[in-house]
Amino acid sequence: MTSRPSPPRLASLMTQAPRVRRTPWIALAWLALILLGGVLSAGAALNVPFESLASPSPIHLLGTDLLGRDVGLRLLAGGLRTLRMAAAATMIAAVLGSIWGLVAGHAGGWLEWILVHANDVLLSVPGLVLALVVIAALGQHEATIILAVGLGGVGSYARLARSAAAETSHRSFVLAARALGAGEVRLLQHHVFPNTLEALSAYALLHFGWALVNSASLTFLGLGGAPSIPDWGQMLNESRLVFLGAPWLAAAPGTALALTVLAVQRLGEWIAKP
């Protein structure tokens, strides 16, 4: 604390509250760049070998890897795959978790008790470990990783949806609709769900960042299928052994991953702010 006695600046206290909401142009531009680059590099020959471990140069902007493949091209193509996997996983978590939580929060009573406790079982295993168990059961494919990361996130989504639904279900318009004879399914679908949508969709972006890191972690551990498929986590894993001689190999996917998570978080905060 500062030692000088500060006068009560009530005016500054009053004016401070609503800050101007600035559009996160940098975050949006970065995400657009990754998406566009991924689409444009889709037709490129990714596995053509050049000189092995060439350092960054005008021809290979980000250098080449151990097998002589262009890191820049793989970064662009891999970004799209990583984003796609995380997006699909977020969809699974959002849909399953929302249904689970909304039903629990709206129903109350014994059904809520069962659903909440089943959710506690799910939450007691860390998301990444749950994903590993799913992969152990279903094998190593891209689809399994998506399902694994998705199921790993259902628990936290359900918890959020339940508290949002429990809050909405006691509000007067829901009670009024019930008094008018609306069935429980209709109440849930037309009255509770639309009013929790804002909270649920704001959480989707936060969750997307988590799914991004987790699916990259799984491919980093070598569970992502064939090594010829470009992927950020896999690129980080491949760079591990030659990291000292060729730091650009790790720097490219590592920085890209961190920046993407950062951009997604920023976007989520922007959307969540009223």
Task: Round to whole Å and give the CA distance between 165 and 197.
Answer: 10
Residue 178: phi and psi, rounded to 5, are: -65, -40
Task: Round to whole Å and give the CA distance between 40 and 229.
Answer: 16
55 makes contact with another protein (CB under 8 A): no
Helix axes 71-107 and 142-169, enclosed angle (nearest 10)? 40
**Candidate segments 20-28, 39-47, 193-201, 259-267, binder of another protein by CB under 8 A:** 259-267
Residue found by looking up tokens 């030659």 in the block: 242
Residue 201: phi and psi, rounded to 5, are: -75, -30
Task: Round to whole Å and give the CA distance between 126 and 47.
Answer: 36
**Binder to another protein among 28, 61, 254, 271 (CB under 8 A)?**
254
* Alpha-helical regions (H) of the chain: 10-16, 25-40, 71-107, 109-123, 127-138, 142-169, 172-179, 184-187, 193-220, 232-239, 248-272
Nearer to another protein, 52 or 255 (CB): 255
Binding mask 132-161 for another protein (x = CB under 8 A): xxxxxxxx----------------------
Nearer to another protein, 33 or 261 (CB): 261
Nearer to another protein, 6 or 23 (CB): 6
Task: Round to whole Å and give the CA distance between 127 and 135.
Answer: 12
**Binder to another protein among 182, 262, 271, 272 (CB under 8 A)?**
262
2 makes contact with another protein (CB under 8 A): yes
Residues 83-142 that bind another protein (CB under 8 A): 117, 120-121, 124-126, 128-129, 132-139
Nearer to another protein, 46 or 261 (CB): 261
236 makes contact with another protein (CB under 8 A): yes
Chain residues that interact with another protein, rule: CB under 8 A:
1-2, 4, 6, 9, 12-13, 16, 117, 120-121, 124-126, 128-129, 132-139, 209, 213, 216-217, 220-222, 233, 236-237, 239-240, 243-244, 247, 250, 253-255, 257-258, 261-262, 265
